Structure formats: structure tokens, C-alpha cells
Copies of this chain bind each other. A is one copy, B any other.
């Protein structure tokens, strides 16, 4: 640990982590976006990723629940509405279920999460616990993967629409609002981390939190790839297309 990074250096260090570790580089996503998965494999992705989606407002509420700063609580609250919805619009979870519907998955199978892979559950659990138990600064920082979300969402929507006959714009309704929500959220979280990481050690904790979160997203694809793509071993108890 040496001197404090200035804001530009700090942001560059965060972005370098994304360039190295964000899950857009995972082979599973390359297959997904380029149309090289079959429908059953896309189902497995959507069903497992639901576990992550369903826990986002839980981890956001956990952050609010431990936050002594009214302004931060207020700012963070919009994330709850984004994922759980409000009177004017469905939330991200409901939109994700539109996709699993369109893919022909049974809702109860999806929402019960009983067919999700253990590795999915462990990664999502690790994320929620991290937000509950680490410092508030690290909890905020672990959301910073959203800095890299717009690019992967654009690639995904474009690739999936072009390559899969069983997917249409409505099935992908989850993603369009995320193209505006994610940049707002990540800009806020980035500014918060820049302002509140006032020592090099705190800056390093922010960088480490982002690495941790990249590992969450990455390991979810590891277990998915292995179970459904290659060598396609039947995982006992897991979703079987």
C-alpha cells in the first residue's frame, strides 16, 4: 500500500478490474450471445440467473438496513423499486420471469429455486452475506460491476435476438430499463466510493470488493457451463431440460 490514488487513478483501477474479470469474458456468455447454445441451455441459464435476480433487492435492503446515513438510504431505495416494481411499472424480477415464461419454464420451478445448481446458490449467498457483513463502503463497492453492465446487456440483447428463434423483444423486456438504471446506479456508487475511500487501505478494500463481486458472477457461469455445456454431466437434483 502506498499513496492515496487520485480519483482518476482510482476509477482507472476499478475499470481495469472489469476489463480483466467481468463475466462478459466467460466462455458461457460468448456461447449465449453468439447463438451457440440450444434452448435447454438458455433455459438453464435463465433459471439459475433467476436466483441472483431474486436476491438483488434483498441485498439492497440489507445495505439500507445497516446504513446510518439517511441520504445514502434514500438514494439506494430506488434500487428496491427497480427490482420489485412500483405502481407504475413491473420490477426486474417480474420482467425476468417474463423471460423464463417465454422460454417455456414452469414458474414454480423457477421461483422455488429448487432446481438451481448448488454453485449458483453458494455464490448468491456469498454476495448477500458480503453486503450484510463487510464495511458499508465495501457493500456499496460490490455493486460496481454495474459499471460494466451496459456493454454486456447490449451484446446480449442484440445477440440473442439475432440468434435464437425462441427469444423475442418481449422475452428480453428485463434488459431495456437496465440500460438506464445501471449507469445511474453505478455512477452514484462510484462517486460514493471515491468520496468515502479516504485512505489507500479503504481504496484497496473497494478494489477487492469489486474483484469479489466479479468472482460471484464468474463462478455462477462456471457451474452452469460445466453442468449444461461441457461435459454435460447430469447434476443430481438440478434442473434437467
Write the residues of chain A forming the contact surface with B, with a CB cutoff of 8 angstroms. 20-21, 26-27, 117-119, 121-123, 125-126, 129, 211-212, 214-216, 218-219, 222-223, 225-227, 230-231, 233, 235-237
**A28 → chain B closest CB, angstroms:** 9
CB-based contact B230/A222 at 8 Å: no
CB-based contact A119/B118 at 8 Å: no
CB-based contact B212/A118 at 8 Å: yes
Partner of A126, one of B20, B125, B227: B125
Enumerate chain B residues within 8 angstroms of A117, measured Cβ to Cβ: 215, 219, 222
Which partner residue on chain B sits nearest A230 by CB separation?
B230
**A230 → chain B closest CB, angstroms:** 6
Taken together as a complex, chains A and B put the C-alpha atoms of A195 and B17 apart, in Å, by 52
Enumerate chain B residues within 8 angstroms of A237, measured Cβ to Cβ: 21, 211, 215
**A64 → chain B closest CB, angstroms:** 23
Taken together as a complex, chains A and B put the C-alpha atoms of A123 and B233 apart, in Å, by 19
Enumerate chain B residues within 8 angstroms of A225, measured Cβ to Cβ: 226
Partner of A223, one of B211, B212, B219, B236: B219
Enumerate chain B residues within 8 angstroms of A236, measured Cβ to Cβ: 20-21, 214
Enumerate chain B residues within 8 angstroms of A222, measured Cβ to Cβ: 117, 119, 222-223, 226-227
24 contacts between A and B (CB under 8 A): A26-B233, A27-B233, A117-B219, A117-B222, A118-B219, A119-B119, A119-B123, A119-B215, A119-B223, A121-B215, A122-B125, A122-B215, A122-B216, A122-B219, A125-B125, A125-B126, A125-B129, A211-B237, A214-B236, A215-B237, A218-B235, A219-B223, A222-B227, A223-B226
